[in-house]
Amino acid sequence: MEFKYDKRDLQFILKEWLPMEEVLSCSRFKDNFGLEDIDMYLNEGYKVAREVVSPINGQGDKIGAVLKEGIITAAPGYDRVYKFLQENGWGSASECIKLEGGMPLTLYKALFEMNSAACPAIMSYIKLTSGVANLLIEFGTEKNKAMFLPKLLNGDWQGTMCLTEPDAGSDVGDSITKAFPTSDPCIWRIKGTKMFITGGDAGICENTIHMVLARPEGGARGSAGLGLYIVPKIWVNEDQSLGKPNDVITAGIEHKMGLKAQATALLNFGENDECYGIRMGPVPDEKGRSKGLAMMFNMMNESRIGTGHNSNCQAAAAYSVASRYAMERIQGRPFGDANTDRVPIIRHEDIRRMLLDMKAVTEGIRAMIFKGFYYLDIQNNSDDKEKASVCRGLAAIFTPIVKGYGSEASLAVIAEAMQVLGGVGYTQEYPIEQNMRDSKILTVWEGTTFIHGNDLVGRKMRMNNGADFANWMAAIKDFIDSEKGNSRFQAEISRLAEAYGCLEEIKKCYEFWYGNMDKKKQFIPLNAVATLTACGQVQTAQCLLEQATVAYKKLKELSGCHYDRSFYEGKIAAARYYANQVLPNVFMLAHSIASEDATCLECPEEALVV
Nearest to 96 by CA among 135, 38, 150: 135
Residue 46, interface with its own copies (CB under 8 A)? no
Rounded Cα distance, 358 and 356, in Å: 5
Single out the residue of 261, 418, 456, 496 in contact with its own copies (rule: CB under 8 A): 418
Nearest to 153 by CA among 198, 228, 205: 205
Single out the residue of 335, 484, 511, 512 in contact with its own copies (rule: CB under 8 A): 335
Task: Tell me which residues in 151-170 interact with its own copies (CB under 8 A).
Answer: 164, 167-170
Single out the residue of 220, 505, 584, 594 in contact with its own copies (rule: CB under 8 A): 584
Give, for 465, the enclosing helix (H) or strand (E).
none
Tell me how far, at minimum, the Cβ of 227 lies from its own copies, in Å: 20
Single out the residue of 128, 136, 436, 538 in contact with its own copies (rule: CB under 8 A): 436
In sequence order, what DSSP letters do the residues of 383-398 get, joined into one string? S-HHHHHHHHHHHHHH
Q: What is the phi/psi pair of residue 348, to 5°?
A: -80, 140
In sequence order, what DSSP letters do the residues of 163-190 get, joined into one string? --BTTBSS-GGG---EEEE-SSTTEEEE
Sign, Cα dihedral of 232, 234, 238, 241: negative
Contact 97, 134 (CB under 8 A): yes
| Pattern 451-470, its own copies, x by CB under 8 A | --xx----------------
Amino acid at site 74 = A
Single out the residue of 186, 415, 475, 555 in contact with its own copies (rule: CB under 8 A): 415
Tell me how far, at minimum, the Cβ of 380 lies from its own copies, in Å: 30
Residue 495, interface with its own copies (CB under 8 A)? no
Of 99 and 117, which CB lies nearer to its own copies in the complex structure?
117
Which entry of 165, 416, 446, 546 is annotated as an active-site residue?
A: 446
Rounded Cα distance, 228 and 162, in Å: 10
Single out the residue of 35, 71, 283, 330 in contact with its own copies (rule: CB under 8 A): 330
The helix-helix angle for 432-439 and 385-421 (nearest 10°) equals 130
Task: Tell me which residues in 261-320 interact with its own copies (CB under 8 A).
Answer: 316, 319-320
Task: Tell me which residues in 77-116 interact with its own copies (CB under 8 A).
Answer: none
Single out the residue of 428, 482, 490, 516 in contact with its own copies (rule: CB under 8 A): 428
Tell me how far, at minimum, the Cβ of 320 lies from its own copies, in Å: 4
Residue 43, interface with its own copies (CB under 8 A)? no
Tell me how far, at minimum, the Cβ of 529 lies from its own copies, in Å: 6
Single out the residue of 355, 395, 461, 476 in contact with its own copies (rule: CB under 8 A): 355
Single out the residue of 52, 461, 524, 548 in contact with its own copies (rule: CB under 8 A): 524
Stretch in the footprint of its own copies (CB under 8 A) among 46-54, 82-90, 101-109, 442-450: 442-450
Of 288 and 570, which CB lies nearer to its own copies in the complex structure?
570
Tell me how far, at minimum, the Cβ of 601 lies from its own copies, in Å: 6
Question: Which parts of 516-558 fold into alpha helices (H)?
Answer: 517-520, 523-526, 528-557
Rounded Cα distance, 142 and 542, in Å: 44
Residue 59, interface with its own copies (CB under 8 A)? no
Look at strands 157-162 and 207-216 and give their pairing. parallel
Amino acid at site 388 = A
Task: Tell me which residues in 194-213 interact with its own copies (CB under 8 A).
Answer: 196
Q: What is the phi/psi pair of residue 592, to 5°?
A: -65, -40
Residue 377, interface with its own copies (CB under 8 A)? no
Residues 6+ apart with CB under 8 A from 538: 476, 496, 499, 500, 502, 503, 583, 586
The burial class, CB within 10 Å (0-12 / 13-18 / 19+), for 349 is: exposed
Residue 63, interface with its own copies (CB under 8 A)? no
Instruction: Decide if 446 is catalytic.
Output: yes
Active site amino acids: 446
